[in-house]
């Protein structure tokens, strides 16, 4: 529980006692400071118990890992960033060294444990953290570099992360609140949080949770899995609303994909449990449709739970399974397309009213197909708008707000992969139609939010800077790291310092080569050049060298002196390419950025206290685009995306055009996606609060940090504001 509090809430749990000595406090605060952590309430150390020291080493390791300081970082070029070899000369030396080893031409030299012999006249082996010829890791060179780096001085810059002391008796209440934020989230939470959620449920149970507030299907699946293991079938029957809930519960029980975007497994069921499942299906809404959507899986499950054997007890379920086996189920989607094809607008609208979510997704198409029926279509849509979730209304509002102006539409799927398509699928709507739609959506949002706790009489302050943060509605595949915000959010960065990008990976079961690179673009997203393993330097940018294996944990760095970049460079697009080997998610792999004042080979290459953001790479694409650097606005744009690519052909030269299109769209997400300023304003308006300009006089505040609701409080935002 203490680990969850520290990782997710930046809460440091300490038992209450008689206080620490002055020496203990100084040593503790100094060790925190060396990692870039400080306490918001250090005065409470005067009431802390020395028993905390029993957890001290473990919690320090948790904090080190949080910033990526739990592993060793060794670049290829130990003299990075001062002395990087010239590309062509270094390449020719490598070729000569390779041929010399193959042909046994070298009689003397340093022979590494991998069998490669490096002549002293070809390379000074002690300038490298890996074999300079093959660029494969070598244990002796790795260990030597680690020892040398440990004695180097640290940077003077510190990027602070603030921790708050809570006494252990207060910790449970903090974690109960966090559990409710997770469970009541009305959109996807990060997959990495599922483990935390399961641990919290196992610790606290579910008795204090309100089942009516558990609306997001994937989160509900974790609660259902807990109840299943407890044998509380009555509670399960109360929480499950359809057959898809059952599939998600099965996925959670078997450790497979609760989003159902990948194949899942189902557990072995006793006779009693089979009857429980059949009973749930018997009373499920849209049973035929749900079974048809996952036909292959349900046919397999059907062979195991034997619905025909219980046909008298569960007749509707047995009938649907029989129709499923014989291919006689007509889906809701096929009926929708039939009404559209036959131009039966009245039947179509009546049909769509049964599924508000589908109506919302089809609204543009229906308006396009029936231009003379705008009033009728919009009246019908408004009649069901109260049944739509706030998140869907926000997305719909952004869609129609930009549908006539944007050249492309951008889709991020459940796996965190991005797709950009031309925005020419539908004809433009008239300004009058757009205005009517937005008025309906705005009224719907205020009506929905009015059902939340009233803020009548409350004064609300909203930071205008929240227009730079998107609402975090697609968190399922979001990277787990220090900073968590919606994709496309813009974080201010001190560009007076040197930006040092880093990636670390340790291969799992096969040789794995990752490549850190960065592409330079002008204001129109035309490529101006790149820095990667094929081009180690450019004006203001330098690469630490390409390591091609990671049995001991490999690292690559890129230093960017932002003030030294050519004036025409407006954007930088860092990427991590997987050239070969394990997927990102299959190994220990993370990336991030530091802000450095002292950048030379005599300083520590990785300095934990200068890390501003560290995040795990957890996707399966050919390459990752974790961030975009907006030079003109001095901002890091959080992209957190994975793009398909081909192994052994994955490099920056082959991706620059795709990256240009993708990144140009993501940098505009704060305009084409719901942003936090809009969400805060709608909540204040819908819940009858008074918006004021004075933060000090406000009862409730919205901002980036230090407020009632912060842009980084993702789970709280999803639970209480959506």
- Would you say the C-alpha torsion 320, 323, 327, 331 has a positive or negative sign? negative
559: pLDDT confidence band, cut at 50, 70 and 90?
Answer: very high
Q: Residue 375 has what pLDDT?
A: 96
pTM above 0.85, yes or no: yes
Predicted confidence (pLDDT) at residue 620 exceeds the cutoff of 90:
no
Question: β-strand 537-538 against 527-531: which pairing, if any?
Answer: unpaired
Residues 371 and 363: their CA atoms lie apart, in Å, by 12
- How crowded is residue 636: how many other Cβ atoms within 10 Å of its Cβ? 23
Proportion of the chain in helix, strand, coil states, percent, rounded to 5:
45, 20, 40
pLDDT digits (tens, 9 = 90+) for 498-538: 999 999 999 999 999 999 999 999 999 999 999 999 999 99
Structure tokens at 691: 């918006």
Helix (H, G, I), strand (E, B) or coil at 48: strand
Q: For residue 389, which of 327, 438, 448, 433 has the smallest C-alpha distance?
A: 448
Helix axes 356-369, 345-352, angle to 10 degrees: 160
DSSP E strands in 138-261: the ranges are: 161-167
Q: Residue 707 has what pLDDT?
A: 96
Predicted confidence (pLDDT) at residue 427 exceeds the cutoff of 70:
no
Helix (H, G, I), strand (E, B) or coil at 122: coil
DSSP secondary-structure letter at 632? T
Mean pLDDT (whole number) for 6-18: 93
Cis, bond preceding 81 (omega within 30 deg of 0): yes
Residues 133 and 681: their CA atoms lie apart, in Å, by 59
Question: β-strand 37-39 against 161-167: which pairing, if any?
Answer: parallel
Predicted confidence (pLDDT) at residue 425 exceeds the cutoff of 70:
no
Give me the long-range contacts of 581-584 (CB less than 8 A, separation at least 24): 581/507, 581/510, 581/511, 581/512, 581/513, 582/507, 582/508, 582/509, 582/510, 582/512, 583/619, 583/620, 584/505, 584/617, 584/618, 584/619, 584/620, 584/621, 584/624, 584/642
Alpha helices, H only, 416-481: 431-450
- How crowded is residue 174: how many other Cβ atoms within 10 Å of its Cβ? 17
DSSP E strands in 597-664: the ranges are: 611-616, 623-630, 635-643
Helix (H, G, I), strand (E, B) or coil at 273: helix
pLDDT digits (tens, 9 = 90+) for 31-88: 999 999 999 999 999 999 988 777 888 999 999 999 999 999 999 999 999 999 998 9
pLDDT digits (tens, 9 = 90+) for 376-411: 999 999 999 999 999 999 999 999 999 888 888 888
Q: Residue 286 has what pLDDT?
A: 85
Answer for the pair 578, 647: CB distance below 8 angstroms, yes or no. Answer: yes
DSSP assignment of 343-368, as one string?
A: T-HHHHHHHHTT-HHHHHHHHHHHHH
Main-chain dihedrals φ then ψ at residue 161, nearest 5 degrees: -115, 125
Main-chain dihedrals φ then ψ at residue 144, nearest 5 degrees: -65, -45
Mean pLDDT of the chain: 92
Q: For residue 129, which of 601, 579, 499, 539 has the smallest C-alpha distance?
A: 601
- How crowded is residue 183: how many other Cβ atoms within 10 Å of its Cβ? 25
Instruction: Please report where in the chains the tokens 């330097």 appear, as a residue.
Output: 537
pLDDT digits (tens, 9 = 90+) for 640-699: 988 886 544 456 666 777 889 999 999 999 999 999 999 999 999 999 999 999 999 999
Helix (H, G, I), strand (E, B) or coil at 694: coil
Predicted confidence (pLDDT) at residue 26 exceeds the cutoff of 50:
yes
pLDDT digits (tens, 9 = 90+) for 339-349: 998 889 999 99
Answer for the pair 511, 495: CB distance below 8 angstroms, yes or no. Answer: no
- How crowded is residue 228: how many other Cβ atoms within 10 Å of its Cβ? 19
Mean pLDDT (whole number) for 235-255: 92
Lowest mean pLDDT among 112-126, 178-192, 326-340, 357-371: 326-340
Mean pLDDT (whole number) for 240-264: 91
Mean pLDDT (whole number) for 22-35: 94
Structure tokens at 592: 């991030």
Residues 106 and 463: their CA atoms lie apart, in Å, by 67
Residues 682 and 454: their CA atoms lie apart, in Å, by 13
Helix (H, G, I), strand (E, B) or coil at 185: coil
Residues 114 and 103: their CA atoms lie apart, in Å, by 16
Helix (H, G, I), strand (E, B) or coil at 240: coil
Alpha helices, H only, 353-495: 356-369, 374-384, 390-402, 431-450
In the chain, % of residues over pLDDT 90: 77
Predicted confidence (pLDDT) at residue 571 exceeds the cutoff of 50:
yes
Phi-psi region of 181 (alpha: psi -120 to 50; beta: other; left: phi over 0): alpha
Q: Residue 646 has what pLDDT?
A: 55
Residues in contact with 157: Cβ distance below 8 Å, sequence separation at least 6, in sequence order = 497, 595, 596, 597, 598, 609, 610
């Amino acid at each position: 529980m203490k680990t969850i509090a520290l990782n997710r809430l930046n809460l440091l749990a300490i038992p209450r006692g008689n206080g620490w000595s002055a020496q203990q406090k100084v040593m503790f605060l100094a060790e925190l400071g060396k990692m870039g952590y400080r306490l918001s309430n250090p005065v409470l150390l005067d009431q802390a118990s020395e028993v905390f020291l029993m957890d001290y080493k473990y919690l320090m390791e948790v904090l080190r890992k949080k910033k990526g300081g739990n592993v060793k970082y060794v670049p290829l070029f130990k003299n990075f960033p001062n002395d990087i070899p010239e590309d062509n000369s270094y390449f020719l030396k490598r070729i000569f060294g390779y041929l010399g080893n193959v042909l046994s031409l070298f009689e003397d030299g340093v022979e590494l444990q991998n069998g490669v012999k490096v002549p002293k006249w070809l390379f000074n082996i002690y300038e490298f953290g890996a074999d300079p010829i093959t660029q494969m890791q070598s244990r002796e060179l790795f260990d030597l570099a680690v020892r040398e780096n440990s004695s180097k001085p640290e940077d003077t810059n510190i990027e602070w992360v603030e921790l708050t002391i809570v006494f252990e008796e207060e910790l449970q209440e903090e974690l109960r609140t966090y559990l409710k934020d997770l469970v009541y989230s009305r959109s996807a939470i990060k997959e990495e949080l599922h483990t935390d959620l399961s641990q919290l449920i196992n610790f606290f149970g579910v008795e204090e949770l309100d089942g009516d507030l558990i609306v997001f299907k994937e989160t509900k699946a974790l609660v259902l899995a807990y109840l299943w293991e407890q044998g509380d079938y009555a509670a399960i029957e109360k929480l499950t609303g359809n057959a898809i809930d059952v599939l998600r519960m099965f996925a959670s029980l078997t450790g497979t994909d609760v989003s159902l975007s990948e194949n899942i497994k189902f557990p072995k069921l006793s006779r009693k449990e089979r009857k429980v499942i059949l009973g749930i299906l018997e009373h499920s809404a849209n049973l035929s449709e749900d079974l048809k959507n996952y036909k292959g899986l349900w046919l397999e499950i059907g062979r195991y739970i034997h619905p025909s054997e219980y046909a008298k007890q569960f007749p509707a379920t047995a009938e649907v399974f029989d129709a499923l086996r014989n291919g006689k189920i007509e889906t809701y989607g096929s009926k929708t397309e039939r009404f559209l094809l036959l131009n039966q607008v009245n039947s179509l609208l009546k049909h769509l009213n049964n599924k508000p979510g589908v109506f919302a997704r089809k609204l543009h198409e229906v308006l396009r197909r029936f231009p003379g029926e705008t009033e009728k279509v919009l009246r019908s849509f408004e009649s069901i708008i109260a049944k739509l979730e706030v998140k869907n209304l926000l997305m719909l509002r952004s869609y129609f707000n930009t549908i006539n102006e944007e050249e492309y539409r951008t889709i991020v799927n459940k796996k965190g992969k991005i797709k950009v398509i031309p925005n020419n699928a539908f004809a433009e709507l008239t300004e009058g139609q757009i205005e009517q739609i937005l008025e309906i959506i705005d009224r719907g949002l205020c009506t929905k939010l009015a059902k939340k706790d009233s803020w009548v009489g409350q004064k609300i302050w909203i930071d205008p800077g929240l227009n730079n943060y998107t609402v975090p509605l697609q968190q399922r595949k979001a990277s787990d790291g220090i900073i968590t915000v919606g994709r496309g959010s813009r974080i201010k960065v001190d560009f007076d310092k040197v930006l040092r990008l880093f990636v670390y990976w340790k291969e799992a079961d096969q040789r794995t080569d990752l490549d850190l690179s960065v592409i330079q673009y002008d204001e129109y997203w035309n490529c101006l050049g790149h820095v990667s393993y094929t081009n180690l330097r450019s004006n203001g940018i330098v690469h630490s060298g390409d390591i091609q294996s990671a049995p001991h944990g490999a690292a690559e760095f890129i230093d960017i002196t932002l003030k030294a970049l050519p004036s025409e460079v407006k954007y930088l697009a860092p990427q991590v390419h997987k050239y070969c080997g394990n997927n990102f998610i299959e190994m220990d792999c993370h990336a991030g950025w530091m802000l450095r004042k002292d950048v030379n080979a005599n300083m520590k290459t990785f300095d934990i206290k200068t890390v501003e953001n560290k995040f795990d790479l957890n996707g399966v694409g050919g390459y990752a685009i974790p961030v975009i650097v907006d030079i003109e606005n001095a901002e890091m744009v959080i992209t957190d995306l994975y793009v398909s690519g081909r192994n052994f052909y994955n490099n920056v030269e082959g991706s620059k055009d795709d990256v240009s299109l993708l990144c140009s769209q993501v940098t505009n997400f704060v305009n084409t996606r719901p942003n936090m300023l809009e969400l805060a304003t709608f909540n204040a308006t819908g819940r009858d609060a008074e918006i004021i300009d004075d933060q000090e006089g406000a009862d409730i505040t919205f901002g980036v940090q230090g407020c009632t609701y912060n842009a980084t409080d993702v789970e709280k935002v999803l639970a209480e504001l959506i």
